[in-house]
């Protein structure tokens, strides 16, 4: 039995899983979109979101924790067939990605299923992407209190629709007469003062 054992084994040893996760997330931060299998994407997504949350802090201790978790490999770009260092993964994480998601409470990545299958083992391929800076937040989750208020309003509307028009008119007249009586009492009290 494997009760309370978190994470997927992915047919790898512990060290291999750790290296795979680090490499996937480093590539995600470098390219902002990667193609992988569904299981690997789900594992990498959780790790990437934790690191982005660290980057939102922006402190020196957060930077050191991120380096300990991810490593700090260089971002290499090739121009004219010559390697050119563009920066580091942690540098990009803390200077670009952290500030990009300051207003977002979570959900920095998304998984998009592809119709393609991998040739070797027919594995389901997905795209793991970082959300853009202009992506809207998800709709607010409806709380039970809001649901309860909507149900009460819906019942009230049904009762009013089912009631004969005469009863509704009588109810309106009685409320209007009460308002007039209360207003008349208020004006007389104000005159006395």
9-63 confidence digits (pLDDT tens): 999 999 999 999 999 999 999 999 999 999 999 999 999 999 999 999 999 999 9
Domain check: are 112 and 28 in the same one? Answer: yes
Closest to 110 in 3D by CA, of 125, 128, 124: 128
| pLDDT tens digits for range 62-73 | 999 999 999 999
Q: Report if residue 39 sits inside a domain.
A: yes
pLDDT of residue 145: 79
My answer on whether 43 and 100 are in the same domain is yes
Domain ranges, residue 164: 144-192
Average pLDDT over residues 109-129: 95
* Residue 135 maps to a domain: no
Please give the residue that has the higher pLDDT: either 134 or 45.
Answer: 45
Place of tokens 């994480």: 93
Longest Cα–Cα distance of the chain, Å, equals 96
Instruction: Pick the closest to residue 49 from 134, 111, 141, 136 (CA basis).
Output: 111
Residue 88: its H or E element: strand 82-88
d(CA 166, CA 187): 32
Q: What CATH number is attached to the domain comprising 34?
A: 3.90.1030.10
């Amino acid at each position: 039995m494997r009760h309370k054992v978190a994470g997927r084994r992915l047919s790898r040893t512990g060290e291999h899983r750790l290296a795979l996760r680090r490499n996937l997330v480093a590539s995600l931060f470098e390219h902002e979109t990667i193609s992988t299998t569904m299981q690997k994407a789900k594992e990498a997504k959780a790790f990437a979101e934790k690191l982005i949350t660290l980057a939102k802090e922006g402190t020196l201790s957060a930077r050191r924790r991120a380096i300990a978790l991810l490593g700090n490999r260089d971002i290499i770009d090739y121009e004219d067939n010559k390697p050119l260092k563009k920066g580091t993964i942690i540098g990009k994480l803390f200077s670009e990605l952290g500030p990009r998601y300051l207003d977002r409470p979570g959900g920095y990545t998304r998984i998009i299923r592809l119709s393609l299958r991998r040739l070797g083992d027919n594995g389901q391929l997905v795209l793991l992407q970082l959300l853009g800076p202009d992506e809207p937040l998800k709709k607010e989750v409806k709380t039970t209190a809001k649901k309860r208020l909507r149900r009460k309003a819906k019942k009230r509307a049904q009762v009013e629709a089912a009631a004969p028009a005469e009863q509704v008119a009588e109810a309106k007249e009685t409320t209007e007469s009460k308002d007039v009586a209360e207003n008349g009492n208020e004006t007389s009290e104000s005159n006395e003062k």
